[in-house]
Amino acid sequence: MMLSISNRITASIVTGAFFAAPMIYLFGTKDFAGYYALLQNSGPLVQRAVTFAKLNLAFCFSFHFWASIRHFVWDTGKGYSTEQLYQTGYALLAATLLTTAGLMCL
């Protein structure tokens, strides 16, 4: 149950982020070099906040991606036994952590 509601929550977060990014571009200064320089020259607290935001977005994207794959498998009528639910749940969490770690390395 928690993974199902988490899938919906992460979908909302990812949708919000992918909606906000073009809006910032559309209504912003369109000076990406300036934004990048601002972040590079900011203090360590701002850089940690950016890393934390990147971690959250990477986790939400990864979790929603893998949970959606799991849901597509359910749409085929497979994976409904309690044992399979737990196995795919643990696989979902492991894949999420690995994918998040990979995205954080970018």
Q: Which residues sit in the known binding site? A: 64
Mean pLDDT throughout 51-80?
96
Mean pLDDT throughout 23-49?
86
Q: Which residues sit in the known binding site for heme? A: 64
Q: What is the DSSP string of 40-89?
A: HHS-HHHHHHHHHHHHHHHHHHHHHHHHHHHHHHHHTT---SHHHHHHHH
pLDDT of 88 reads 95
Cβ neighbours of 8 (radius 10 Å): 10
Average predicted confidence (pLDDT) for the chain? 93
pLDDT of 105 reads 97
Q: What is the pTM of this model?
A: 0.87
Q: Which two tokens stand for residue 67?
A: 């949970």
Answer whether 76's CB lies under 8 Å from 39's CB: no
Residue with tokens 């950016």: 50
pLDDT of 30 reads 80
pLDDT of 37 reads 86
More confident residue, 78 or 33: 78
Range with the poorest average pLDDT among 20-24, 83-87, 90-94: 20-24
Residue with tokens 């036994």: 81
List, in order of start, the domains of the chain with CATH numbers. 2-104 (1.20.1300.10)
* Residue 1, pLDDT above cutoff 80: no
Cβ neighbours of 56 (radius 10 Å): 14
Could you tell me the CA-to-CA distances from 35 to 29, 42, 50, 55, 95 in Å, in that order? 9, 11, 12, 19, 32
Cα gap 60→6, rounded to integer Å: 9
